[in-house]
Structure 1
C-alpha cells in the first residue's frame, strides 16, 4: 500500500498572536466547546504518554474528566501500567487530536494523585456498571481469557446488587499540573500555526509562536 500520496490541505482556520488570551485554559475551553458543538467523536479523548524505568515511552487514550487552572484530571486503576510509570516518573504528556477541526493541543506537566474526597465524588457519579468494572479489572495484568473477566464482573454485580458500591482502594485520579500547552491549527501549504504557552510560575504565561 502506497501512503505517500495520502494528504490534504488544512484551511479551516488560522491562529494569530493578537487574538490569543493571556491564559491558555481560556483558549482550551473555547476549543473543547467547539469540538463538542461540532459533535466530534469522543471530544474529551486524550492520549496520555508516560515512560517506564528504562525510558521506553508508552501511550494510551483516556477520557478527560475535569480541567481548570489547577490542571487536567483523569482516573485509572492505580495498579495499571500508566499509574506505575507515573509513580516512578511524574512528568506526563497529554495530546488532544481534534482532526476534523484541524487542531491539536499538546500539554506537558507533572502528575499528582487526587484526594480521597475527589476520588469518591467522581466514582459516585459513574454508572453502576462502570463502578463494578473498576472492581473487576486488574488493569494491565495478564488474564487467561475474556470469560474470566466477564465471570468476575457478574460475580461482583451480584455481590453489589444492593446498596452503594465502595470506591476501590486501588482506583483513583491524577491531576496533571500544566507546565506547557501548545495549540496547533492547521494551515495551507503546511504553514501551520503553533503557539506555545509556558508557565512562568508566577500566574503568568509566556507565549511564543513556533515554526510549523
Structure 2
C-alpha cells in the first residue's frame, strides 16, 4: 500500500470516497455531489456533462461497490451509456483541493432502489421527470411548462416513476484519489481491479 496515510489511508476506496464527499458537504457552496460524467457515442466522439451522484455503494454491496446516479433513459447520455457499457467521471472539490477520478462498467438500476429514490424527490421534480423529453429539441419554455401542467393534472400528487427514468450504476475498475500539493507536487493514488470480485491494487503516481 506504499506510503498512504492521512486522507489517503484505508483499504476500502469506497469508504475513502464517502469520507471525502462528507467533508465536501461542509465546504462546497453548491452540489458537492456533482460529477463530470464522460461518455462516448456510437462514432467514438466523447461527451461530458455534470450530473449529481446520489449514492456510493460500498464494496460489500451486491454490485461489488458502485457509484449511482439517475437520469432519463431516453436522453443522449443514457443512450451512450447503454451502447458503450462504460463510462468515466471526475468529482472535483475546489474548497478541499481534491478530486476523484473513476472509470468503469455501467449497468442500469431500474428496480425498487430507483423507485425509492424517485419517491424521495420533490413532487415538482417527479412531475418534471415525466414532462421532460430530455435531450430532444424544444421550441420554447412555454411548451415545456404547458407539458408540466398537463402532467400535473394527469398524474396527480403521487406519480409513479416513469418507465423511461431510472438509475445507472458505475462499477469502477479504476479509482484515482488526487490532492493538491505545494509547488504542484500533488499526491495521486490509483486503485485498480480486474472486476468486482478482484482485489484492489494501489499505486502512487507522479503528479
Q: What TM-score does the superposition give when structure 2 sets the normalisation length?
A: 0.90
Q: Which residue of 1 aligns with 2:90?
A: 95
Q: Which residue of 1 aligns with 2:47?
A: 58
Q: Which residue of 2 aligns with 1:31?
A: 20
For 1:88-167, what aligned pairs fall within 5 Å after superposition? 88-162=83-157, 164-167=158-161
Gaps of 5+ in 1: 1-15
Select the structure with the greater relative contact order (CA < 8 A; seq sep ≥ 6).
Answer: 1
Assess if the C-alpha contact under 8 Å between 1:51 and 1:89 holds in 2: yes
Pick one of 53, 68, 74 that aligns with 1:73.
68
Q: After TM superposition, give the deviation of residue 177 of structure 1 in Å.
A: 0.6
- The alignment partner of 1:100 has SS state of coil
Assess if the C-alpha contact under 8 Å between 1:76 and 1:172 holds in 2: yes
Assess if the C-alpha contact under 8 Å between 2:28 and 2:93 holds in 1: no
2:4 paired with 1:17: yes
2:202 paired with 1:207: yes
Instruction: Give me the whole-angstrom Cα distance separating, in 1, the residues matched to 2:200 and 2:20.
Output: 19
Cα RMSD after superposing both structures: 1.4
- The alignment partner of 1:37 has SS state of coil
Q: What TM-score does the superposition give when structure 1 sets the normalisation length?
A: 0.88
Instruction: Give me the whole-angstrom Cα distance separating, in 1, the residues matched to 2:161 and 2:110.
Output: 13
Q: After TM superposition, give the deviation of residue 118 of structure 1 in Å.
A: 1.6
- The alignment partner of 2:35 has SS state of strand
Instruction: Give me the whole-angstrom Cα distance separating, in 1, the residues matched to 2:113 and 2:159.
Output: 16
Instruction: Give me the whole-angstrom Cα distance separating, in 2, the residues matched to 1:18 and 1:187.
Output: 15
Pick one of 189, 192, 195 that aligns with 2:186.
192
Equivalenced residue count is: 196
Assess if the C-alpha contact under 8 Å between 2:28 and 2:94 holds in 1: no
Assess if the C-alpha contact under 8 Å between 1:200 and 1:206 holds in 2: no
Instruction: Give me the whole-angstrom Cα distance separating, in 2, the residues matched to 1:116 and 1:26.
Output: 25
